[in-house]
Structure 1
Amino acid sequence: MSSRRTTTPAQGVVTLIPALDGLRAVAAGMVVLTHAAYLTGVGVGSGLTGRMMARGDFGVAIFFALSGFLLHRGLVADDRDGRLDVVGYAFRRAARILPAYWIALAVVVVASHPSARDSLIHAAGLQIYWSDAWISDFGQSWSIATEIAFYAALPFVVLALRPLRRRRPALPLIVLAILAVALTLTSGLGGGGAFGEDVLYERWLHARAPHFLVGMICAEALLVPGHAIARRLTSWGSDAVMCLAVAGAAYLMATAPITGSLTLEPATPSQLVVRTALSAVIALGLLLPLTHGGPSAYRAVLSRPVVRWLGVTSYGLFLWHLPVFEALYAVTGASEFAGGLLPLLAVGLPISLLLAALSHHWIEVPSSRLAGRLLARRRQRQRDRPEDKESHRPLDSGASDSAR
């Protein structure tokens, strides 16, 4: 689903939020910086600046919140209009992420020669469910597995909320808000595993659900603007400076020991809870001014063409930057964790952006368009079949339209 589409609830018309593309660019930049800081050792050896770059893994929470807002908003709109098509939704999601993901994975497999087992597990998007299914040159791909789990769960959530919505329009918003708090408080359950030895349950959907719920709550609030929760979110979102200040303060707090290590060392369950809470606050603080606020300098910056282009190509950047960084180390023979942040970014970032642009133009857009054409033909066939049946239907049939 495009990051630029939303619906104005009062008018029921589709509008554009260009700044959401820009927010994707921010999230991608954070992820790139955290991996560059880790590989060069800057994240643990350069004071506050290094710690802030190392905590760029919170960019994943922003990606998840964007997915929650856009996908939940779209599915709820389809459900309210009687057009919910779970098969079509699944097909569009697969076409959007899997071809580019598989091609990047194939290149990594050819270059780094992981085991066939690990390659197949990654191809299926199941790597977070094994303790030792790890491809170091493609380590960022764990979040794709979590995202796929969210894709699979979301239609069932929308269907489960349907009777609540019919009973009272604001009930889904209330339920999602309660879930966000409850799942944040329990996000550390099963956590604290050692990397490469234990299954990291903190990467499973139940632990990352608060981030998706942030976006889903924003989407639901737009449907019931008069509810107290929605009014509060609108009040906060209308003050972009306040939202950014709160997000910035939460980010600074996240560099402290209360969130655990800035590397791959295990975190305690309590540290994981704090990490989840702070990253959810950051995601909400960055998203709200765009979904519930008015014009602002923040929105204007994220809406600039260059920033939006970076956001549009952010998926390819996410896929390619770590393999490119690792390839540069392999080619140059440089030692990891020995500094060199600026040279790594100066060479690796342009190459990654080029590959991201090629991925978007030659893989992501064509595969999404092909999926759209195939689904359009499927819808046409579905429309044609009832007409064929109607032409042969007896005039005295007692079947009612409501039964169909």
Structure 2
Amino acid sequence: MAHPSPATESATPRLDVLPALDGLRAVAAGLVVLTHAAFLTGFGTSAGLPGHLLARGDFGVAIFFALSGFLLHRGLTAHAHGSGVDLLGYAARRFARIVPAYWVALAAVVIAADPGLRAWFLTGLGLHIYVPDVNIPSFGQSWSVATEVSFYIALPFVVLLLNRLRRRGAARPLVALVVLALITSLLPVFTGPAEFGVELLVERWLPWRAPHFLVGMIFAEALLVPDHPISRALSRLARDPVGCLALAGAAYLASTTPVAGSLTLEPAHGATLLMRTGLSTVVAACVLLPLTLGSPSWWSHVLSHPIVRWVGVVSFGLFLWHLPVFTALYAVSGAQFFRGGLAPLLAIGVPISLLLAFLSHQFVELPSSRLAARLTAHRRQRREGHHSDDREAKRPLEERSTE
């Protein structure tokens, strides 16, 4: 990585590789896997506090969103300061990173379950979260991919607006993001009585999930203005990983109580959704903060362990494949849903899901990402009129934690 000059260092995001973030992806994926296993077996609502803790593992999605907010905002802001992350390259990498693996997993589900052309088409385009009554049960987790893609589309425009603010003061984008996070966190108040249908879909749309992305963006922006009071306050918190994780744990525990609504698929609304969104945002922020604004600690060392990082590297495939695998195991075994069997479901389903995730990473995600990197590197070379090296195209995806 090229080190910024003293003149630009304070205005350029720190784009060093953060291996612990791969480990945090593993934590997020693990939570999602556990919550789906708890739901399918009925463990989440029948096993007291342990079940309730697993049932709220959907907070792993909030962690994924916060990671995306930090990494992608950091990368695009670096482009704005001339460090070489162009917008077309960003779009190509995002497409290559997400869409091929998503389509492969969806194709397998469609072949096995035959959900119908309408559901296949809308889910394939990520439009199913905007249309009621479109659901492929064994691919239900795909809603968050659609939400993530909507963030990918919105982010460049947000960065352009923030850069206009930056010309009037280096700290203005940070303040604007904090204000935006506070405003969007209040959106659940305007979500009326919920039924399975439009109201359930609304809470999956980007504006309602924006606080999760925005906390990551705030951390990335705080790196640019370390002397701002908000940045200093965040840095003080980040230097205490035990305190951060204790706060995350308290928020997570609170989310298992009625204050955050049902532990089933029953949609939340109003004050209940407000509490659930707020608590999930606190959890995501507190587990991410020490890794981005803090110093190396036991928390970052644990998440940087090679095994944990490996799970994080293949976490997108694990996220895509675990629910189809769980559903297939029920179909093959003849077992009934909601009748127990958490341990065997995890013991058999997780290794199979990890194997499929590894295959997806090796034969779908890596080749498509490398192709996108080569194409964007070639485009950059043609634009610059000389042959710069293409190390970015050759560098393995798992070594890149800047986007």
Q: What TM-score does the superposition give when structure 1 sets the normalisation length?
A: 0.91
- For 2:257, the equivalent position in structure 1 comes to 256
CA distance, structure 1, for counterparts of residue 202 and residue 331 of structure 2: 31
Counterpart of 2:339 in 1: which secondary structure? coil
CA contact 1:6–1:15 (8 Å) conserved in 2: no
Structure 1 position 190, deviation (Å) = 3.0
- For 2:339, the equivalent position in structure 1 comes to 338
Unaligned runs of 5+ in 2: 387-403
CA contact 2:199–2:267 (8 Å) conserved in 1: no
Structure 1 position 14, deviation (Å) = 3.8
- For 1:204, the equivalent position in structure 2 comes to 205
CA distance, structure 2, for counterparts of residue 304 and residue 73 of structure 1: 24
1:271-286 mapped onto 2 (5 Å cutoff): 271-286=272-287
- For 1:396, the equivalent position in structure 2 comes to none
Structure 1 position 199, deviation (Å) = 5.3
Of residues 268-277 and 243-252 in structure 1, the stretch that sits farther from structure 2 once superposed is: 268-277
Structure 1 position 376, deviation (Å) = 1.4
Structure 2 CA distance for partners of 1:310 and 1:82, relative to 1, 3 Å: closer
Structure 2 CA distance for partners of 1:6 and 1:47, relative to 1, 3 Å: farther
Q: Deviations over 1:134-179 (max 9, x none)?
A: 0001000000110000000000000001111111000000000011
Counterpart of 1:368 in 2: which secondary structure? helix
CA contact 1:6–1:17 (8 Å) conserved in 2: no
Structure 2 CA distance for partners of 1:16 and 1:263, relative to 1, 3 Å: same
- For 2:398, the equivalent position in structure 1 comes to none
Structure 1 position 263, deviation (Å) = 0.7
CA contact 2:15–2:74 (8 Å) conserved in 1: no
CA distance, structure 1, for counterparts of residue 114 and residue 307 of structure 2: 36
Q: Deviations over 1:54-84 (max 9, x none)?
A: 0000000000000000000000011121756
Of residues 316-325 and 8-17 in structure 1, the stretch that sits farther from structure 2 once superposed is: 8-17
- For 2:113, the equivalent position in structure 1 comes to 112
Structure 1 position 362, deviation (Å) = 0.7
CA distance, structure 1, for counterparts of residue 68 and residue 58 of structure 2: 17
Counterpart of 1:200 in 2: which secondary structure? helix
Structure 1 position 11, deviation (Å) = 9.7
- For 2:178, the equivalent position in structure 1 comes to 177
Higher relative contact order (CA 8 A, sep 6+): 2
Counterpart of 1:187 in 2: which secondary structure? helix
Structure 2 CA distance for partners of 1:6 and 1:178, relative to 1, 3 Å: farther
Structure 1 position 50, deviation (Å) = 0.2
- For 2:392, the equivalent position in structure 1 comes to none
Residue 292 (1) aligns with residue 306 (2): no
Q: Deviations over 1:304-337 (max 9, x none)?
A: 0000001000000000000000000000000000
Number of positions where the alignment pairs a residue of Structure 1 with one of Structure 2: 382
CA contact 2:251–2:279 (8 Å) conserved in 1: yes
CA contact 2:76–2:85 (8 Å) conserved in 1: yes
CA contact 2:188–2:269 (8 Å) conserved in 1: no
CA contact 1:192–1:200 (8 Å) conserved in 2: no
CA distance, structure 1, for counterparts of residue 218 and residue 78 of structure 2: 14
Unaligned runs of 5+ in 1: 386-404
1:86-125 mapped onto 2 (5 Å cutoff): 86-125=87-126
Structure 2 CA distance for partners of 1:226 and 1:42, relative to 1, 3 Å: same
CA distance, structure 2, for counterparts of residue 90 and residue 224 of structure 1: 27
CA distance, structure 2, for counterparts of residue 109 and residue 205 of structure 1: 26
CA distance, structure 1, for counterparts of residue 169 and residue 73 of structure 2: 18
Structure 1 position 266, deviation (Å) = 2.5
- For 1:24, the equivalent position in structure 2 comes to 25
One-letter amino acid matched to 2:230: I
- For 1:168, the equivalent position in structure 2 comes to 169
Of residues 96-105 and 260-269 in structure 1, the stretch that sits farther from structure 2 once superposed is: 260-269
CA contact 1:93–1:151 (8 Å) conserved in 2: yes
- For 1:382, the equivalent position in structure 2 comes to 383
- For 2:224, the equivalent position in structure 1 comes to 223
Structure 1 position 10, deviation (Å) = 4.9
- For 2:58, the equivalent position in structure 1 comes to 57
- For 1:189, the equivalent position in structure 2 comes to 190
Counterpart of 2:190 in 1: which secondary structure? coil
CA distance, structure 1, for counterparts of residue 228 and residue 306 of structure 2: 35
CA contact 2:67–2:216 (8 Å) conserved in 1: yes
Structure 2 CA distance for partners of 1:133 and 1:380, relative to 1, 3 Å: same
- For 1:149, the equivalent position in structure 2 comes to 150
One-letter amino acid matched to 1:226: D
Structure 1 position 342, deviation (Å) = 0.1
CA contact 1:188–1:202 (8 Å) conserved in 2: no
Structure 2 CA distance for partners of 1:306 and 1:116, relative to 1, 3 Å: same
Structure 1 position 339, deviation (Å) = 0.4
Structure 1 position 218, deviation (Å) = 0.2
Structure 1 position 264, deviation (Å) = 0.9
Residue 305 (1) aligns with residue 306 (2): yes
Counterpart of 2:132 in 1: which secondary structure? coil
One-letter amino acid matched to 2:155: L
Task: Give the superposed CA RMSD.
Answer: 2.0
CA contact 1:193–1:200 (8 Å) conserved in 2: no
Q: Deviations over 1:86-135 (max 9, x none)?
A: 22211110010000000000000000000100000011011100111100
CA contact 1:191–1:200 (8 Å) conserved in 2: no
Structure 1 position 6, deviation (Å) = 12
CA distance, structure 1, for counterparts of residue 200 and residue 280 of structure 2: 22
